[in-house]
Amino acid sequence: MKKTKNLVIALIVAAVLIALVPLFALKGAEFGGSDDAGSVMIEEITGSYEPWFTPVLETMIDGELPGEVESLFFCLQTGIGVGIIAFCMGRLVERKKWADNGENV
C-alpha cells in the first residue's frame, strides 16, 4: 500500500512540474498555429503567398473568426473524437468480457 501511495505522489508531482516548467522556461515565447507558421515560411521562400480558399465560416460571416470561437470549435472536435474513441474501446472491452462468459455479442 505504501509503494502505491508513493507512486501516486510521484506522478502528481511530475504532472505539476510538466504543467509549470514551460510557463517559466519559455518566457516571451509565441505560441501560434501551424497554418500561420506554414504561410510565413512559404512567404519567406517564394516571396508571395495567396491562400487557395477561405474557410467556410469566414465567408458566411464576412470576416475572420475570433480566436475564442476557433478554440471552441477545436475543443468540440477534440471532445467528439475522444468520445467516439472511448465508446469504441469500451465496446471492444465489453465484447471480450461477453465472449469470455460465452454470451452472444
DSSP letters for 39-82: HHHHHHHHS----S---HHHHHHTSPPPHHHHHHHHHHHHHHHH
Asked if 27 contacts 19 with a C-beta cutoff of 8 angstroms, the reply is: no
pLDDT in tens, the chain (105 residues): 788 999 999 999 999 999 888 878 877 777 667 777 888 888 888 888 787 887 788 888 888 878 788 889 899 999 999 999 999 999 998 887 888 776 655
pTM attached to this predicted model: 0.49
Cα–Cα distance for residue pair 90/79, rounded to 1 Å: 16
